[in-house]
Structure 1
Amino acid sequence: MTLYIWRHPKPMATDGCCIGQSDVAVDKRKLKRLAHRIERFVRRHQLPKVIWVSPLQRSLKVGQILAQRGFACHVAPELAEINFGQWDGQDWAQIAKQEIDDWCADFAHFAPDGGESLQQLFERVENWLNDMAAQNSGQKPVLAVGHAGWITAAKTLAAGQDVPKIAADWPASVAYGERQDLSFLF
């Protein structure tokens, strides 16, 4: 199965913040620009006009714009960014140093209060990918708008690698609006 996934546009007023499932706003022009790029890509490659998005508005609104342009838009909660629990929406500087140290000491399995671990994120990503492959027998490409952590987990899985055990092994995030082309064998 091939997954074409774009990272959502840059949200407004989030610099220095821990943003996972916080529902933050994005400039409408940036949403429209990404929708236009996706639409051009689909037309150029003659792909089905079907897009999967997370319920978070920075992804969802791109799907809604595409729906107005004739796309079938499906909302999948499994596509949401990692849940940082009580950290979500806080300035990184305001999160207790000991909690950050605890996360780094058990990078794959630590979860902030009320949140999820990287291991749980990877399981959620893998389950969704398996469901997508089963729905269409892996024949049609899947198009989605997602989030940096989710996309990084999918890239790691596509490379046949495990959940990183230490923070230093977490790769750089995909840029806002950037597309990743991932292939999965199921």
Structure 2
Amino acid sequence: MKLILVRHPAPDVASGLCYGRSDVAVTPQNMAASCASLLASLPAHLPLYSSPLSRCSVLAQSLARALPASQFTQDPRLAEMDFGAWELHPWQDIERTDIDAWAADLAHYRPGGGENVLAMATRIRSFLTELLREQHATVIIICHAGTIRLLTALQAGLSLEETAVLAASNRHQIAYGATVTLDFQRPIVTPGI
């Protein structure tokens, strides 16, 4: 199965803000520009899945109508990581000791008391396992950079803990509105945690 992963457009927030699971908006101009660009490159009549956060779901709804999509599904497992008390705070205002604690335990530390990367990896793997059972040739998924990193890391067939660490340590920047294509030719078999 081929997964065409699309990162949402740039949200209308100050630069350097931790916004993870927060439902931040995208300006109508950015949304329209992303939609037009993607319509020029995305294939039509494919199943389309989306994070329920509006920066993804608004784009996904527009694409689903315009392409049109063969089916449209919002799935909460595709949401970005929950950064708890860090949400909507500038990264520079978060205590350095807290950032260092997260860096020391990428899989298990709960930033801001929110979700850890291992929990996010578990829900992303659950989504992917279910999706692969549906046996589509190609799907489009509108989601977040963290979700894209985890889906990419899942291709390696590592344990969930190793997958979480690989995704969290990946410094690859995924541009807003960019697409990443993954090909899962065989089912994912991941060892236990």
Report the TM range for the smaller structure's normalisation. 0.7 to 0.9
2:33 aligned partner: 33
- AA aligned to 1:51 is L
CA–CA distance in 2 between the matches of 1:100 and 1:113?
10
Equivalent in 146, 158, 172 of residue 143 of structure 2:
146
SS in 1 for 2:128: helix
Aligned structure 1 segments of 4 or more residues deviating by more than 6 angstroms: none
- AA aligned to 1:174 is I
Please report how far the alpha carbon of residue 113 of structure 1 lies from its aligned counterpart in structure 2 after TM superposition. 4.2
1:40-92 Cα offsets, whole Å, 9 max, x none, are: 3344xxx4243211111110110121244243431111111111111111111
Length-normalised TM-score, structure 1: 0.87
Q: Give matches, 1:84-99, under 5 Å.
A: 84-99=83-98
CA–CA distance in 2 between the matches of 1:74 and 1:28?
22
1:124-173 Cα offsets, whole Å, 9 max, x none, are: 11111111111x22x42110111011101111112445335489932322
Q: Is the 8 A contact 1:35 1:66 kept in 2?
A: yes
CA–CA distance in 2 between the matches of 1:166 and 1:67?
32
CA–CA distance in 2 between the matches of 1:168 and 1:140?
29
Equivalences, count: 181
When structure 1 is superposed on structure 2, of 91-100 and 125-134 the one drifting more is 91-100
- AA aligned to 1:183 is D
Please report how far the alpha carbon of residue 115 of structure 1 lies from its aligned counterpart in structure 2 after TM superposition. 1.2
1:7-26 Cα offsets, whole Å, 9 max, x none, are: 01111123111120111111
Query: Is 1:59 equivalent to 2:56 in the alignment?
Result: yes
SS in 2 for 1:21: coil
Query: Is 1:156 equivalent to 2:153 in the alignment?
Result: yes
Unaligned runs of 5+ in 2: 188-193
Identity of paired residues, percent? 32
Q: Give matches, 1:1-186, under 5 Å.
A: 1-43=1-43, 47-69=44-66, 70-71=68-69, 72-134=71-133, 136-137=134-135, 139-161=136-158, 162-163=162-163, 165=165, 169-184=169-184, 185-186=186-187
Unaligned runs of 5+ in 1: none
CA–CA distance in 1 between the matches of 2:148 and 2:100?
24
Q: Is the 8 A contact 2:150 2:167 kept in 1?
A: no
Length-normalised TM-score, structure 2: 0.84
SS in 1 for 2:173: coil
CA–CA distance in 1 between the matches of 2:41 and 2:132?
21
- Structure 1's 103 and 5: CA in aligned 2 closer, same or farther, altered over 3 A? same
RMSD: 2.1
CA–CA distance in 2 between the matches of 1:167 and 1:7?
16
SS in 2 for 1:74: strand
- AA aligned to 1:82 is M
